[in-house]
Amino acid sequence: MIPLRDSQRPSSYPVVTLALIGCNSLVWLYEVGLGPRLDGFILQYGLTPLRFILAYRFEGGIVDNAIIPLFSSIFMHGGWLHVIGNMWFLWIFGDNVEDRMGHFRFLLFYLLCGIGASLAFVLVDPFSRMPMVGASGAISGVLGSYLVTFPGARILTIPIIFIPYWLIEVPAWIFLIIWFLFQFLGASQASAHGEVGGVAYGAHIGGFVTGILLTWIMRKRPRFRKRSWEEDPF
């Protein structure tokens, strides 16, 4: 299903969500301008599991082969559909998660989800020489957070079997559970056929689970206002 919009309306302006969309878009436009140098750029700043695991053996050491790619890879993309699809999901689901968490906490949450997704990708195939790029893992974390924070919100979607002028509205928890099952089935099928590259299902699953766990850890605690004796002496 393709989401078109959600029923949940944020009470604050999603500055971090818009900034992340802007950063990803600018990096993608930079990639487009590289032309034949793009492959080298992806190899250098994408996350390659083998280089990450054996970072100390490669030129540049741990910083160039592990730490930098861990962050840079989540702002890079491999095609127009890749970046447009990711930014669309971030726009629909990110604003409300940011609204609930707060701006700074949401930015930290997003980056940690991206790291969690990248580490999951490495664990799935630690000796792969195929670099991973894309914000999908971090955005999967946003989806996981949306699931536990706004399960009852409604998502207006285009069904998998497209029929013109036919849109359906489903609860967020149903939409996101279906999305997660597709990731799980995709990962299982890729593993069964020994496929490498393509869609990083392991990163999606890792990011989604990381998002759920971090939401429980990072959610705002309610503020308790100290009462005066005049308000309630007992």
- Which positions are annotated as active-site residues? 136, 204
Sheet of 2-6: strands edge to edge?
Answer: 2-6, 154-158, 168-171
d(CA 61, CA 224): 49
Burial of 53 (0-12, 13-18, 19+ CB in 10 A): middle
Backbone angles phi, psi at 68, to 5 degrees: -65, -50
Q: Which amino acid is at 87?
A: M
> Is 4 in a helix, a strand, or coil?
strand
d(CA 108, CA 114): 10
d(CA 197, CA 194): 10
CA neighbor of 98 nearest in space, from 176, 21, 20, 10? 10
Helices (H), the chain: 15-34, 38-45, 49-53, 61-62, 68-72, 80-101, 103-124, 136-149, 172-192, 201-218
